[in-house]
Amino acid sequence: MTAITGKIGITKRPGELGVHSLSTFKMIVPDLAVADNFYRAFGLDVREEGDTLGLYTFGSDHRWGVIGEGPQKRMSAISFAAFEEDFEPMKRRIEGMGIRLMDAPAGFESNGIWFRDPNDFLVEIKVAEKTSPNAKVDFGAMDGSKPGNTIGSWGRAKKPEVRPLRFAHMLMFVANVPQSIEFYARVLGMRLSDRTGDIIAFMHGIHGSDHHMIAFVTANGRRPGLHHLSWDMGSINGIGLGAMQMADRGFQKGWGLGRHVLGSNYFHYMQDPWGSWSEYSADIDYIGLDHDWEAKDQPPEDGIYVWGPELPKDFLHNYEADQYDTPG
Ligand SMILES: [Fe+2]
């Protein structure tokens, strides 16, 4: 919380209340061993913690994700973080809106407040460190670009292990995109970055964050759920090495390499064992705490990607909803 951003000494947007980071998510999957194998291959530091797995990035003790076991795969809870001095005012504001606060779910040690969003997702706001970036990340620094007369790449056998730098954002299928925008703006103090009509929308934190830390895509009348989790790689090379590492370990199906329009990030998505996706991402747009971003409404035919391979046919298929819908 002491990092300098934009103007010297200013680390938060004055006079406004809002979460600063998407701190942690909790997901339920039918078989923890399957998750363990996938996320290790993806390059995460997967730690066994009681009857759950903790998802970490190497070199940090911040737990980005908790994976528990249950009959059906689902995103179970999303925890956002606020500055300590903002917590009580936010709590009062939320109570004043008539939103019912709940006890922390079993198994959560929590100093936060819990409630449900319009999609029935369990949401927490707690006091925790700011894990969203405080400035545009130094893109390309991980590429290790070499001067002339030296070798820049590696032999296949000697290529480096892939290690995502941090969890970046998630995209959720939601019941109603405008309703989710309104709720996350009013209750969590986030701002709309860009949208494509009522199909998809991206939201950022007001205290300096990536172009989006959460995004919403219409579930088209089906059950809300996870579309993808995104991890920052710091470079295109990191994305490419990630996709190759996954292929080496048997995870072939993906979409990339490409570049998004909204958010501008380079990407390669890997399909996870449950049909949702994990994104290797780099160079996403950054919105500083002292900048009022002008939200665009991008036409659907021009919203998803600037360049890249054709979209997989099931990229926007809601596999999480399939578990609950009766076939036929
Ligand atoms: Fe993404």
Q: What is the pLDDT of residue 151?
A: 84
- Could you tell me the CA-to-CA distances from 139 to 47, 49, 265, 266, 319 in Å, in that order? 28, 33, 11, 11, 33
Q: Is residue 107 part of a domain?
A: yes
Q: What is the pLDDT of residue 144?
A: 64
* 297 strand-pairing partners: 195
Q: Is residue 301 part of a domain?
A: yes
Q: What is the pLDDT of residue 146?
A: 77
Q: Is residue 14 part of a domain?
A: no
Q: What is the pLDDT of residue 301?
A: 81
Q: Tell me the residue type at 327.
A: P
Q: Is residue 5 part of a domain?
A: no
Question: Following DSSP, what letter does each residue of 47-92 receive, concatenated?
Answer: EEETTEEEEE-TT-----EEEEE-SS-EEEEEEEEE-HHHHHHHHH
Q: What is the pLDDT of residue 310?
A: 95
6: left (phi over 0), alpha (psi -120 to 50) or beta: left
Q: What is the pLDDT of residue 140?
A: 73
Q: Is residue 153 part of a domain?
A: no
Q: Are 104 and 110 in contact (CB under 8 A)?
A: yes
The Å distance, Cα 8 to ligand 1 centre, comes to: 30
Rg (CA), the chain: 19
Q: Domain holding 187: CATH number? A: 3.10.180.10
The Å distance, Cα 177 to ligand 1 centre, comes to: 16
Q: What is the pLDDT of residue 161?
A: 93
Q: Is residue 277 part of a domain?
A: yes
The Å distance, Cα 160 to ligand 1 centre, comes to: 24
* 56 strand-pairing partners: 45
DSSP secondary structure letter of residue 142: G
The Å distance, Cα 282 to ligand 1 centre, comes to: 10
Q: How far apart are the first and last CA of the chain?
A: 52
The Å distance, Cα 183 to ligand 1 centre, comes to: 21
Domain count, the chain: 1
The Å distance, Cα 233 to ligand 1 centre, comes to: 12
Helix, strand, coil percentages for the chain (3-state, nearest 5): 20, 30, 50
The Å distance, Cα 10 to ligand 1 centre, comes to: 28
User: Is it true that the peptide bond before 122 is cis, omega within 30 degrees of 0?
Assistant: no
Task: Return d(Cα 55, Cα 262) in angstroms, integer.
Answer: 27
Q: Is residue 2 part of a domain?
A: no
Q: Is residue 9 part of a domain?
A: no
* Low-confidence stretches of the chain (pLDDT beneath 70): 1-10, 141-145, 326-328
Instruction: Give every CB contact of residue 153 below 8 A, 6+ residues apart in sequence.
Output: none
Name which of 115, 123, 27 is nearest 80 in CA terms: 123
The Å distance, Cα 96 to ligand 1 centre, comes to: 33
The Å distance, Cα 255 to ligand 1 centre, comes to: 12
Q: Can you give 231-278 as a three-state secondary structure string?
A: EECCCHHHHHHHHHHHHHCCCCCEEEEEEECCCCCEEEEEECCCCCEE
The Å distance, Cα 228 to ligand 1 centre, comes to: 7
The residue range of the domain holding 171 is 21-147+158-322
Q: What is the pLDDT of residue 142?
A: 59
Q: Are 170 and 181 in contact (CB under 8 A)?
A: no
Reported as a single tens digit per residue, the pLDDT across 116-166 is: 999 999 999 999 999 999 999 778 765 666 788 988 888 888 989 999 999
The Å distance, Cα 258 to ligand 1 centre, comes to: 12
Task: Return d(Cα 163, Cα 316) in angstroms, integer.
Answer: 27
